[in-house]
Chain A
Amino acid sequence: MSILDSKIPEGPLADKWTKHKNDINLVNPANKRLIDVIIVGTGLAGGSAAATLAELGYNVKAFCFQDSPRRAHSIAAQGGINAAKNYQGDGDSTYRLFYDTVKGGDYRSREANVYRLAEVSTNIIDQCVAQGVPFAREYGGLLDNRSFGGVLVSRTFYAKGQTGQQLLLGAYAAMNRQIGRGKIKMYTRHEMLDVVVVDGKARGIIARDLVTGEIERHSAHAVVLGTGGYGNAFYLSTYAMGSNVTAAWKAHKRGAFFANPCYTQIHPTCIPVSGDHQSKLTLMSESLRNDGRIWVPKHKKDVEAIRNGSLKPTDLAEEDRDYYLERRYPAFGNLVPRDVASRAAKERCDAGYGVNQTGEAVYLDFASAIERYGKEQAYVKGLNVEDKALITKLGKEVVENKYGNLFQMYEKIVDQNPYETPMMIYPAVHYTMGGLWVDYNLMTTVPGLYAIGEANFSDHGANRLGASALMQGLADGYFVLPYTIGDYLAHDIRTGEIPTDSKEFDAAEEKVRAEIDKLVNNQGTKSVDYFHKKLGKIMWNKCGMARNEKELKEAISEIAALREEFYKDVFVPGEENEYNEELAKAGRVADFLELGELFAKDALERNESAGGHFREEYQTESGEALRVKDYQYVSAWEYKGQPSEAVHHKEPLEYENIEVKERSYK
């Protein structure tokens, strides 16, 4: 029997959430005023949770490392948000969204959580529209939808290529309303450096004011982490520069189990790396795969000619192109899930068909979409459909209307016009499905400590479908946590304010100060970035899109050695009592150096391929991920001092409402 109790309610799948909401404890409005909640992170999950808990009447203290909650990295999400509204009448339903998500996650997510997610998805859209989020609309004035990878319906709501921005600004506005009312106390440019556990319960945090360097104590009756994912362990990723694992990792060190750390999403359509100076990677929205066709040349001689500039991709004949996703996956074509699309790109590039100098790029081509849309417009407007120049012009207008800002972004970075020549893309680290283990109530293994959004693990299994991150972040923050946290806080109505002068706060602050002192006084010879880049290379080469036993073992020892070197030789300029970005970075990289090892250990333990976790030893004859029934569980790691000593716990996954089978997109 596992020591992990997922607390999934009894009863039929479709009734679990409703029943649970009816069964759990409530806190009366007068008592909510006596209860404090700390929320760390103000992205979609943290921001929506802060606004909602404050509206309910709790006293919320919210923390973000950015200079404003509006800048959390949810803002960069481009393509859209899923909801089972079935406005298109194309057969969508709560069950289908649930089914697609579990299948897309390669049967490694928790059924009950995913069903709940699908269930509340429709509320999100209603809620956001009421808040004034300007989703894209059709000429009739109703909401428009588009399609994303891994599904056969159009259920994605969007606001051009800035859906994350619009949703985050919606949550930010909801927060602002509560900040104005004094119900949220906002701490910007603050970084959480420890969780304080008193009598076995999370009762506060230690935070550092990034401007003054001051170490602060903050107490509350519960602590919520909405601190995002840990993809920056790879150094190069589509994450923001400041995105980090520190809050989640400190929680892990205080007893929160870390689940499935090896489940990472490598997004197929990112702008390829251009050189050693590269500091981050830029995503091109998956929505582009609605209209863009992915290909490489069929013949090596053409690859050579393209690389040396003697052949333009637009001059290569149709029959000499390999639209490899359409070839391998005729049913889903270019809209296969992200893990499948990424691996297929890697397979072609490894085979020598990459189209740029580094050999790590494939084409994403809009020529046929431009022609198709152009013809459509010509028919609609009664113009000459034989006029090629006119068709191209009309088609480009449609494409610009749909993806204009993405095309502009691409052109600014690469200095090529994607209306005229196909985009070059390559996979990049984008999201982490793993995270803090939580039960059905989103509580970690530390009572009173919650994890929401990307920071937890529960909904996406081994691979996340496009437009589902925004859905999960807002579902957790607006509609799930506000109910489930009440069940816990109902026991705290007589507790009174949590004092910050206890021995637990003393000890936690002392530990934080010691860690900072150590970094500032180290006087080594190498910068923080030096170590971060080295870690990133190990992660990408040995824990990336394809993994094997030998390299994972190497990664484990190399990361451990790098960590040792870091503490011997890192140099952090400046002082601790001032704005010091290098110091903040040093703390974050120190945590990545621990997490990275656990990541590799987890990947090594999982002797199967599932979703984004692809072990070369476990693949089908056609090169697809080969799941192994024995690994149908969640790995949850308990901290024991060093990553190598982490203790492995299993939460078995049971599928009562879905038949587990080989994921096929053919």
Chain B
Amino acid sequence: MMNLTLKIWRQKNANEKGKIVDYPVSGISPDMSFLEMLDVLNQELIEKGKEPVAFDHDCREGICGTCSLYINGRAHGPATKITACQLHMRSFKDGDTIYIEPWRAKAFPVVKDLIVDRSSFDRIQQAGGFISVNTSGNTQDANAIPIEKEHADKAFDAATCIGCGACVASCKNSSAMLFVSAKVSQFALLPQGQVEATDRVMNMVKQMDEEGFGNCTNTGACEVECPKGISLENIARMNREYLTASLKG
């Protein structure tokens, strides 16, 4: 069992100023997940009649992309290729001090405590992250167009992005290039995506810029912190797509 000191960002709402508040917790089992450790803290706070720490979470199995904690200066904490909900306390040791903050980015304003508003990601997807086919079911047979396995697999790898925003939080410029390029790449690698390729990349990049995300300076921090291991290759592919689209005008 471990005793820890938590230093947690508390902020009542988007308009008020926030600050780091210290919370000691004890009796933490190494088999607990990080969020279960926060559950323990919150139960203690509630028992004392205090307000629990608000944090985003839902599936708790690393796929919904809801959890978004900046732990000891790293998105989703010290381990790689997992989300905060998959992080277990065995990654820490007795007596540790742990800083827990929300994602920090202009395009992700704080809602409360550790919760941020990531609707900017949705708006980027709404600008072009789709293939314009009606959902009638009367498309051609699924096996009508064979797709090279390598391309299909790469499209899948890009499509595994969970939209958590760790890439933005980790980037010194708060750039969303990895997130946007993952969707652009998924469709760029598939024949179905070719028809709208030009508009898609132009519209999504335009929306990304309007949302206030920063530029990419190729530091690669996003790839390191991405819980799904989305590759920087996707950014290169998006840049090619963007260049091609720009030339087409």
Do A and B truly interact?
yes
**Shortest Cβ gap from B32 to chain A (Å):** 5
Contact at A66–B126, with CB atoms within 8 Å?
A: no
Contact at B131–A573, with CB atoms within 8 Å?
A: no
Residue of A nearest to B192 (CB): A132
For B60-101 the 0/1 string (1 means CB < 8 A from A) is 111111100000000000010110001010100000000000
Contact at A124–B137, with CB atoms within 8 Å?
A: yes
Residue of A nearest to B57 (CB): A241
Residues in B neighbouring A139, C-beta threshold 8 A? 149
Contact at A126–B46, with CB atoms within 8 Å?
A: no
Contact at B156–A159, with CB atoms within 8 Å?
A: yes
Contact at B59–A137, with CB atoms within 8 Å?
A: no
Residue of A nearest to B191 (CB): A132
Interface: A172 (CB within 8 A): yes
Contact segment of B116-124, B217-225, B230-238, B241-249: B116-124
Residues in A neighbouring B131, C-beta threshold 8 A? 130-132, 173
For B111-149 the 0/1 string (1 means CB < 8 A from A) is 110010111011001110111111111111111001111
Partner of A277 from the list B32, B66, B118, B121 (CB cut-off 8 Å) is B32
Interface: A557 (CB within 8 A): no
Contact at A87–B143, with CB atoms within 8 Å?
A: yes
Contact at A131–B133, with CB atoms within 8 Å?
A: yes
Residues in A neighbouring B62, C-beta threshold 8 A? 409, 412
Residues in B neighbouring A632, C-beta threshold 8 A? none
Contact at B130–A173, with CB atoms within 8 Å?
A: yes
Residues in A neighbouring B121, C-beta threshold 8 A? 68
Contact at B111–A579, with CB atoms within 8 Å?
A: yes
Contact at A141–B47, with CB atoms within 8 Å?
A: no
Residues in A neighbouring B86, C-beta threshold 8 A? 409, 412-413
Residues in A neighbouring B163, C-beta threshold 8 A? 68, 70-71
Given contacts A76-B61, A571-B46, contact A67 B118 (CB under 8 A): yes
Contact at A132–B47, with CB atoms within 8 Å?
A: no
Contact segment of B36-44, B166-174, B208-216: B36-44
CA distance A142 to B142 in the complex (A): 9
Contact segment of A22-30, A47-55, A286-294: A47-55
Q: Which of B173-224 contact A (CB under 8 A)?
A: 186-187, 190, 192-193
Q: Which of A512-550 contact B (CB under 8 A)?
A: 527, 529
Contact segment of A97-105, A176-184, A451-459, A623-631: A176-184
CA distance A158 to B119 in the complex (A): 29
Given contacts A68-B118, A275-B31, contact A582 B160 (CB under 8 A): no
Interface: A125 (CB within 8 A): yes
**Shortest Cβ gap from A493 to chain B (Å):** 22
Chain A residues with a Cβ closer than 8 Å to the other chain, count: 80
Contact at B36–A51, with CB atoms within 8 Å?
A: no
CA distance A141 to B131 in the complex (A): 20
CA distance A247 to B229 in the complex (A): 36
Residues in A neighbouring B33, C-beta threshold 8 A? 279, 413
Residues in B neighbouring A123, C-beta threshold 8 A? 137-138
Partner of B135 from the list A69, A138, A478 (CB cut-off 8 Å) is A478
State the main secondary structure of chain B at its contact with A: loop
CA distance A412 to B146 in the complex (A): 36
Contact at A169–B137, with CB atoms within 8 Å?
A: no
Given contacts A55-B134, A131-B192, contact A573 B50 (CB under 8 A): yes
**Shortest Cβ gap from A259 to chain B (Å):** 27
Interface: A85 (CB within 8 A): yes
Contact at B29–A275, with CB atoms within 8 Å?
A: yes
Residues in B neighbouring A240, C-beta threshold 8 A? 58-60, 64
**Shortest Cβ gap from A65 to chain B (Å):** 9
Residue of A nearest to B12 (CB): A578
Contact segment of A160-168, A303-311, A432-440, A646-654: A160-168
CA distance A275 to B50 in the complex (A): 26
CA distance A409 to B85 in the complex (A): 11
Residues in A neighbouring B6, C-beta threshold 8 A? none
Interface: B155 (CB within 8 A): yes
Residues in B neighbouring A173, C-beta threshold 8 A? 125, 129-131
Interface: A242 (CB within 8 A): yes
Of A134, A180, A579, most buried by chain B (CB within 10 Å of CB) is: A134
Residue of A nearest to B152 (CB): A137
Contact at A412–B59, with CB atoms within 8 Å?
A: no
Contact at A571–B141, with CB atoms within 8 Å?
A: no
**Shortest Cβ gap from B25 to chain A (Å):** 12
Contact at A73–B64, with CB atoms within 8 Å?
A: yes
Given contacts A68-B163, A140-B146, contact A75 B64 (CB under 8 A): yes
Interface: A127 (CB within 8 A): yes
For A55-77 the 0/1 string (1 means CB < 8 A from B) is 10000000000111111010110
CA distance A143 to B192 in the complex (A): 15
Residues in A neighbouring B58, C-beta threshold 8 A? 66, 71, 73, 240-242
Residues in B neighbouring A48, C-beta threshold 8 A? 135
Interface: A590 (CB within 8 A): no
CA distance A159 to B140 in the complex (A): 20
Contact at A130–B140, with CB atoms within 8 Å?
A: yes
Interface: A383 (CB within 8 A): no
Residues in A neighbouring B122, C-beta threshold 8 A? 68-70, 176, 179, 186, 188
Residues in B neighbouring A571, C-beta threshold 8 A? 46, 49
CA distance A571 to B163 in the complex (A): 34
Interface: B22 (CB within 8 A): no
Interface: A556 (CB within 8 A): no
Residues in B neighbouring A342, C-beta threshold 8 A? none
Partner of B126 from the list A127, A130, A176 (CB cut-off 8 Å) is A176
Residues in A neighbouring B88, C-beta threshold 8 A? 412-413, 415
Residue of A nearest to B130 (CB): A173
Residue of B nearest to A169 (CB): B159
**Shortest Cβ gap from A61 to chain B (Å):** 16
Interface: A18 (CB within 8 A): no
Residues in B neighbouring A242, C-beta threshold 8 A? 58
Partner of A578 from the list B13, B35, B40 (CB cut-off 8 Å) is B13
Contact at B60–A125, with CB atoms within 8 Å?
A: no
Residues in A neighbouring B118, C-beta threshold 8 A? 67-68
For A562-597 the 0/1 string (1 means CB < 8 A from B) is 000000000101100011011000000000000000
Given contacts A134-B155, A241-B58, A279-B39, contact A129 B47 (CB under 8 A): no
CA distance A484 to B51 in the complex (A): 47
Residues in A neighbouring B125, C-beta threshold 8 A? 70, 172-173, 176
Interface: A479 (CB within 8 A): yes
Residues in B neighbouring A275, C-beta threshold 8 A? 29, 31-32
Interface: A120 (CB within 8 A): yes
Interface: B4 (CB within 8 A): no
Of B117, B130, B156, most buried by chain A (CB within 10 Å of CB) is: B130
Interface: A282 (CB within 8 A): yes
Contact at A582–B126, with CB atoms within 8 Å?
A: no
Residue of A nearest to B125 (CB): A176
Residues in A neighbouring B162, C-beta threshold 8 A? 165
- List 5 other contacts, CB 8 Å, given A68-B163, A73-B64, A573-B50: A134-B155, A141-B149, A409-B62, A529-B39, A578-B13
Name 6 interchain pairs, CB-CB below 8 A, sorted by A: A67-B118, A75-B64, A76-B61, A124-B137, A128-B142, A582-B52
For the complex of A and B, list the 9 residue pairs with the smallest distance between their C-beta atoms, beginning with the closest: A141-B146, A123-B137, A173-B130, A130-B139, A134-B156, A129-B142, A180-B126, A134-B155, A177-B130
